[in-house]
């Protein structure tokens, strides 16, 4: 019961905690010594950040209130489906990592990483969301190449080249 209650009010609780932190942070920014030499002193940015954090916390509380009003899903059905999906995703992720590690020497870092990221984008996407295949493929390839260049050219750490 507590778990269901927390799930219902989670967004609202997060917003309240953040707004309390924002208020304490903003009040704490007044203890920073003001400098009369410059027009914008060291206290300006912390106060600005405190104000922005306060506004974002208000938006989070608003979002939490909307979520509380819309929360009408039957708890047992939702929890059973969520637990089943989470267990399946954890097992598939673990198997995919093992496959990734075992194919890296043969395929090389770039190709195996691109394939790994491409498959993970489908596995980790929400069930009701449609994954854009082309965007996911481009993202996977570019990220793999960038990481390879970073490690090979800037950190001087060799990565498996494989068949490439």
Mean pLDDT per 10-residue section of the chain, whose length is 164 residues: 68 89 89 72 81 92 85 55 66 89 90 93 80 90 92 84 78
Cα separation, 111 vs 98, whole angstroms = 15
| pLDDT of 118 | 93
Give 20's contacts (C-beta < 8 A, 6+ positions apart).
none
**pTM for this predicted structure:** 0.50
pLDDT at 162: 80
Domain locations along the chain: 2-72, 76-154
Q: What is the pLDDT of residue 74?
A: 45
Q: Which pLDDT score is estimated for 86?
A: 66
**Cα 153 from chain centroid?**
28
């Amino acid at each position: 019961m507590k778990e269901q209650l927390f799930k219902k009010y989670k967004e609202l609780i997060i917003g309240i905690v953040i707004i309390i932190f924002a208020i304490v942070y903003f009040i704490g920014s007044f203890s920073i010594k003001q400098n009369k030499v410059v027009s914008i002193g060291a206290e300006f940015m912390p106060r600005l950040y405190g104000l922005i954090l306060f506004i974002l916390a208000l938006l989070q509380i608003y979002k939490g209130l909307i979520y509380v009003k819309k929360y009408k899903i039957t708890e047992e059905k939702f929890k059973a489906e969520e637990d089943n999906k989470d267990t399946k995703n954890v097992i598939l992720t673990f198997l995919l990592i093992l496959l990734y590690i075992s194919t890296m020497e043969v395929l090389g870092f770039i190709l195996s990483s691109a394939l790994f990221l491409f498959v993970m984008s489908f596995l980790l996407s929400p069930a009701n969301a449609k994954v854009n295949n082309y965007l996911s493929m481009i993202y996977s390839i570019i990220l793999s190449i960038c990481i390879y260049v970073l490690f090979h050219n800037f950190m001087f750490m060799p990565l498996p080249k494989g068949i490439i």
